[in-house]
Amino acid sequence: MKIQLTSYMDQVFPELQYFFKSGLHQKACYQLLKEAPTPDAIASMHMTHLSALLLKASHGHFKKEHAKALRVLARESVGSSDRSLSIQITHAIEQIELLDSQLKTVESEMQSIMLSLDSLIMTIPGIGFVNGGMILGEIGNIKRFSNASKVLAYAGLDPSVYQSGNFVAKRTRMSKRGSKPYVMH
């Protein structure tokens, strides 16, 4: 959806992504585009309203001078104020915000579940709630493995050694055995 939104903005207001130093995908830009998705709409906004919208959405980062510069940029834009694209822009932003909200809910639930499990996997440096949950979800009941090497083999982290007679290869490869990856349809 973010790529699609960028594509729409490249047609409608290509200069906007350079105005926001962090790019299009930030709260202040989304708030602006939900209300005024075309350069014409931004250029015709009352300065007080545009300034207040940017100030609030950016938590004080964008001041009145930024709003003035944005209005000038909108007036001089080479983009097209296509009504159908403006609808697509607002819908794309709504979809992105919905997906972000759903992702936060899932991550919060994973954190809650992982805290309730009190698993040792969380003591491994670099393993957070999401990665820990994914690992435990993939392994299932760890007690079904009699030792650590069987867990590694299940995960596909089992080095295979090529040897024939007295010859033993100097390099080893990881084997392709292990659990099948989950494929979404």
In a domain, 73, yes or no: yes
Residues 114-147: pLDDT tens digits? 999 988 888 989 999 999 998 888 888 888 889 8
Asked if residue 68 and residue 125 are part of one domain, the reply reads: no
Asked if residue 146 and residue 82 are part of one domain, the reply reads: no
Q: How far apart are the first and last CA of the chain?
A: 19
Asked if residue 39 and residue 7 are part of one domain, the reply reads: yes
Structural domain count, the chain? 2
Asked if residue 122 and residue 86 are part of one domain, the reply reads: no
C-alpha to C-alpha distance for 55 and 159, rounded to whole angstroms: 56
The rounded mean pLDDT for the chain is: 87
Asked if residue 58 and residue 5 are part of one domain, the reply reads: yes
- Higher pLDDT: 175 or 55? It is 55
In a domain, 108, yes or no: no
Which pLDDT does position 145 carry in this prediction? 87
Residues 103-116: pLDDT tens digits? 999 999 999 999 99
Q: Which domain holds residue 49?
A: 1-101
C-alpha to C-alpha distance for 67 and 43, rounded to whole angstroms: 10
C-alpha to C-alpha distance for 107 and 104, rounded to whole angstroms: 5
In a domain, 31, yes or no: yes
CB 37 within 8 A of CB 60: no
Asked if residue 130 and residue 44 are part of one domain, the reply reads: no
In a domain, 170, yes or no: yes
* Mean pLDDT, range 76-97, rounded to an integer: 93
Q: If pLDDT is split at 50, 70 and 90, which confidence band does 184 have?
A: very low
Burial of 101 (0-12, 13-18, 19+ CB in 10 A): exposed
Asked if residue 35 and residue 97 are part of one domain, the reply reads: yes
CB 159 within 8 A of CB 175: yes
Residues 55-75: pLDDT tens digits? 999 999 999 999 999 999 999
In a domain, 172, yes or no: yes
Asked if residue 127 and residue 74 are part of one domain, the reply reads: no
C-alpha to C-alpha distance for 30 and 127, rounded to whole angstroms: 32
Write out the two tokens for 112: 């809650």
